[in-house]
C-alpha cells in the first residue's frame, strides 16, 4: 500500500489544520507535525543543523521512495533538502522561482551566487511551472531530472456576480470618469519594481491625470514607497496604498487594468487571475512570460514609455479568448492530467529498479 506522508509545521496553524483534515478524509494520507518553520531557523546555523538531523531520523524511519520539498526559492526549505541527502532519500524540489546569474557581481555577490549554484545541484529531481524555468534548471543542474506541473487556479471569476461598478462602490472607489489601475503583490522593489511604476507615472504625469493607481499588498519596501508618494505631487495626486487584502477579487474586478513591471517572476498568480477576470495586465517581458500573454500586454523591462503606452492601450483589448484558454490551461482537470504524467514517469522508473524491500511512497514537506 502506498502512503503519502505530509510533513508540515505545527506553527502554521491553517496549513496544519488543512492537512490534518485531508488525512482524516483519506486513509492513505498521514500528517507529521514539524516543530520548526523555515523562519524559525533562518540565520541560525546550529538550529538548522539540529533540524536537519532530527528530520533525517524521521525520513529513515519512514523509509520513503521520495521526498518532495516545497521550496519558494532554492535557498528556502534547506532543512528538508539537507535531511533528504543525509537520509539518502531521493530529494525532489518543487521550485516555482529560479535565479538568474547576477550581472557584474563582485565580492559577496559572487560568493552568494556560487553557493546558490551549488544548492541547485543538491536535489535529484525538480518539479517546476513551465518550460522556461525547466530550461534554466537544466542549465544549473544538468544531472537532475526536471518536470513541469502547472498550477491549478480556482476560477472564482467565472462564478462571481460582482460587477465593476458594484466592486468600486463596495471598496469606496470612484466610478464615473476615473481609470483605475492596480498593482497587486508583495512590495519589493528588487523583484516587483513598484519604484519603476512610480518613475513611469512621474515621467508621464499628464497621462495619469484622471487615473487612480492602487498599490495592494505589503512588503519590506512599503515604507520607502509611501515616502516616495508623499514626496511627489504627481504621485500623491493619483497613487493610493491600500495595504494587504484577504481577498483581491474585488480589487481585480474594480480595475480597468493591472500592472506587473517585475524584474523576474515565476508564474504570478495575479497574472492568471487578471486574465480569468478578463482584465488586462501589462507585464514586463521577463522570465518567459511571453509564453502566456500577447505582445499587446508585454513591454521591454526598462522602457517606461512603452510601459505607459501599453497600460492605456490595453483597456480596450478583447480578452475573452485568452480567458477561455487560461480557464482550460489552469483547470483542475489539466492539473490532474499533468500530475498523473509526473507520477507515471516516477512509477515507471521505480518499477524498472524495484527492490524486494517494501517502502512507503512519496512525502511532501512544507
Banded pLDDT at 39 (limits 50, 70, 90): confident
Residue 363: predicted pLDDT:
57
> What residues contact residue 244 under an 8 Å CB cut-off, 6+ apart?
216, 217, 218
CB 363 within 8 A of CB 68: yes
Residues 214-258 have pLDDT tens digits of 999 999 999 999 999 999 999 999 999 999 999 999 999 999 999
- The Cα 204–Cα 20 span in angstroms is 52
Q: How far is CA 120 from CA 91, 94, 113, 115, 143, in A?
A: 12, 12, 11, 9, 11
Residue 335: predicted pLDDT:
94
Please report, rounded to a whole number, the percentage of residues in the chain having pLDDT higher than 70: 93
Mean pLDDT for 296-315 is 97
Beta strands in 160-263 (DSSP E): 179-184, 211-216, 239-243, 257-260
Taking 50 as the threshold, does the pLDDT of residue 366 lie above it?
A: yes
Residue 178: predicted pLDDT:
96
Residue 359: predicted pLDDT:
45
- The Cα 266–Cα 302 span in angstroms is 19
Does the pTM surpass 0.75? The reply is: yes
Taking 70 as the threshold, does the pLDDT of residue 81 lie above it?
A: yes
Taking 80 as the threshold, does the pLDDT of residue 145 lie above it?
A: yes
Q: How far is CA 137 from CA 124, 130, 182, 269, in A?
A: 12, 11, 32, 21
Q: How many CA atoms lie within 13 A of 355 on its CB side?
A: 7
Residues 160-217 have pLDDT tens digits of 999 999 999 999 999 888 999 999 999 999 999 999 999 999 999 999 999 999 999 9
Least confident of 15-24, 103-112, 296-305, 349-358: 349-358
Banded pLDDT at 362 (limits 50, 70, 90): low
List the domains of the chain with CATH numbers: 4-152+331-365 (3.40.50), 156-326 (3.40.50.2000)
> What residues contact residue 189 under an 8 Å CB cut-off, 6+ apart?
195, 221, 224, 225
Residue 38: predicted pLDDT:
85
Mean pLDDT for 324-348 is 85
Residue 348: predicted pLDDT:
54
Instruction: Give helix 78-87 / helix 45-62 axis angle, nearest 10°.
Output: 50
Residue 105 φ/ψ, nearest 5 degrees: -75, 140
Banded pLDDT at 109 (limits 50, 70, 90): confident
Indicate the average pLDDT of the chain. Answer: 91
Q: Please choose, from the candidates 223, 207, 221, 291, the residue with its C-alpha nearest in 3D space to the C-alpha of residue 257.
A: 207
209 exposed, middle or buried (CB, 10 Å; 0-12, 13-18, 19+)? exposed
Amino acid at each position: 500500500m502506498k502512503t503519502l506522508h505530509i510533513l508540515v509545521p505545527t506553527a502554521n496553524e491553517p496549513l496544519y489544520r488543512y492537512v490534518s483534515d485531508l488525512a482524516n478524509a483519506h486513509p492513505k494520507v498521514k500528517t507529521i507535525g514539524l516543530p520548526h518553520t523555515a523562519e524559525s531557523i533562518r540565520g541560525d546555523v546550529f538550529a538548522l543543523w539540529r533540524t536537519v538531523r532530527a528530520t533525517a531520523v524521521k525520513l529513515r524511519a519512514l523509509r520513503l521512495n521520495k521526498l518532495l520539498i516545497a521550496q519558494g526559492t532554492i535557498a528556502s526549505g534547506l532543512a528538508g533538502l539537507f535531511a533528504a541527502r543525509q537520509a539518502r532519500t531521493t530529494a525532489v524540489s518543487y521550485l516555482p522561482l529560479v535565479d538568474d546569474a547576477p550581472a557584474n557581481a563582485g565580492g559577496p555577490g559572487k560568493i552568494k551566487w556560487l553557493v546558490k549554484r551549488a544548492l541547485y545541484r543538491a536535489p535529484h529531481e525538480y518539479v517546476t511551472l513551465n518550460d522556461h524555468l525547466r530550461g534554466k534548471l537544466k542549465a544549473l543542474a544538468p544531472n537532475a531530472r526536471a518536470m513541469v506541473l502547472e498550477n491549478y487556479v480556482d476560477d472564482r471569476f467565472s462564478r462571481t456576480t460582482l460587477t465593476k461598478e458594484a466592486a468600486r462602490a463596495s471598496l469606496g472607489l470612484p466610478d464615473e470618469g476615473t481609470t483605475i489601475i492596480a498593482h497587486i503583490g508583495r512590495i519589493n522593489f528588487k523583484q516587483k519594481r513598484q519604484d519603476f511604476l512610480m518613475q513611469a507615472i512621474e515621467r508621464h504625469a499628464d497621462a495619469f491625470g484622471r487615473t487612480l493607481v492602487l498599490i495592494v499588498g505589503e512588503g519590506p519596501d512599503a515604507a520607502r514607497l509611501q515616502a516616495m508618494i508623499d514626496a511627489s505631487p504627481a504621485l500623491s495626486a493619483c497613487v493610493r496604498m491600500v495595504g494587504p487584502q484577504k481577498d483581491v477579487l474585488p480589487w481585480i474586478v474594480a480595475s480597468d487594468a493591472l500592472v506587473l513591471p517585475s524584474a523576474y517572476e515565476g508564474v504570478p498568480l495575479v497574472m492568471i487571475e487578471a486574465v480569468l477576470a478578463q482584465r488586462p495586465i501589462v507585464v514586463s517581458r521577463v522570465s518567459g512570460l511571453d509564453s502566456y500573454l500577447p505582445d499587446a500586454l508585454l513591454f521591454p523591462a526598462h522602457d517606461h514609455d512603452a510601459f505607459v503606452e501599453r497600460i492605456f492601450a490595453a483597456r480596450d483589448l478583447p480578452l475573452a479568448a485568452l480567458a477561455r484558454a487560461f480557464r482550460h490551461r489552469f483547470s483542475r482537470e489539466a492539473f490532474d492530467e499533468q500530475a498523473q504524467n509526473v507520477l507515471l514517469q516516477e512509477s515507471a522508473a521505480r518499477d524498472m529498479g524495484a527492490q524486494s524491500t517494501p517502502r512507503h511512497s512519496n512525502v511532501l514537506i512544507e
